[in-house]
Amino acid sequence: MSKRNPYKGPDANTLRAKRDGYPARSVYKLEEIDRRVRLFRPGMSVLDLGASPGSWSLYALEKVGKGGKLLAIDLKPLETALPPSGTFLLGDARETAALSTYAPYDVVLSDMAPNTSGNRMADQARSFELFMFALGVAAKLTKEGGSFVGKIFMGEDFTLARTELKKHFATEKIVRPEGTRSVSYEIFLVGQDRRKTEPVKP
């Protein structure tokens, strides 16, 4: 008997996202995280790492309004147009110097994920690297009191990721949104109340 591929074909959330004007179901993950921890306010400045097809960017831009700003980056083009307060960069987030365009940020988001290979350990390791890169960016470019949301595949490095997050953010939450597919081992680490940064010593 053939098993149904849970990633194949549109599910109820995918169809709902299209109806609501978002290119992907992932919007409901950010919506749930936002409902639980209150990430956005009008006028905020946001960085969205791994933004394609564009659902998180659209959602964040709605929340920060016309007075806010968002910089989005991805290896792949967006599948939606952003309102004028959003800017998209095509490229590898790890290789662009332009990430600080609207810094310091109130919120840094990373939904970055590697192309999965089927080798769970290898995929976890690559997801950990992307998470740690995003956290490094957030540590450098987030305002005091600001927030970070980062996706990571659950694995043996998860504790290390949490420890690093807590060095920079006073409040930590682990969120597995309801919209996450049951077979997925992704999880979101949320850091809030960015700690005061020490002045650089001469």
Ligand X SMILES: C[S@@+](CC[C@H](N)C(=O)[O-])C[C@H]1O[C@@H](n2cnc3c(N)ncnc32)[C@H](O)[C@@H]1O
Nearer to ligand X, 71 or 73 (CB): 73
151 classed as catalytic: yes
Q: Would you count residue 92 as binding ligand X (CB under 6 A)?
A: yes
Provide CB contacts within 8 A for 193, sequence distance 6+.
Answer: 145, 169, 170, 171
The answer to whether the CB of 79 falls within 8 A of the CB of 53 is: yes
- Minimum distance between the CB of residue 180 and ligand X, rounded to whole angstroms? 11
Q: Using CB under 6 A, which of the segments 12-20, 39-47, 70-78, 157-165 binds ligand X?
A: 70-78
- Minimum distance between the CB of residue 112 and ligand X, rounded to whole angstroms? 4
- Measured from each CB, the residue nearest to ligand X is 50
Q: Of 94-153, which residues contact ligand X (CB under 6 A)?
A: 94, 111-113, 130
Most distant CA pair in the chain, distance: 67
Q: Would you count residue 68 as binding ligand X (CB under 6 A)?
A: no
| Dihedral over alpha carbons 130, 133, 139, 140 (to 10 degrees) | -140
Binding interface with ligand X (CB under 6 A): 24, 26-27, 50-56, 73-76, 92-94, 111-113, 130
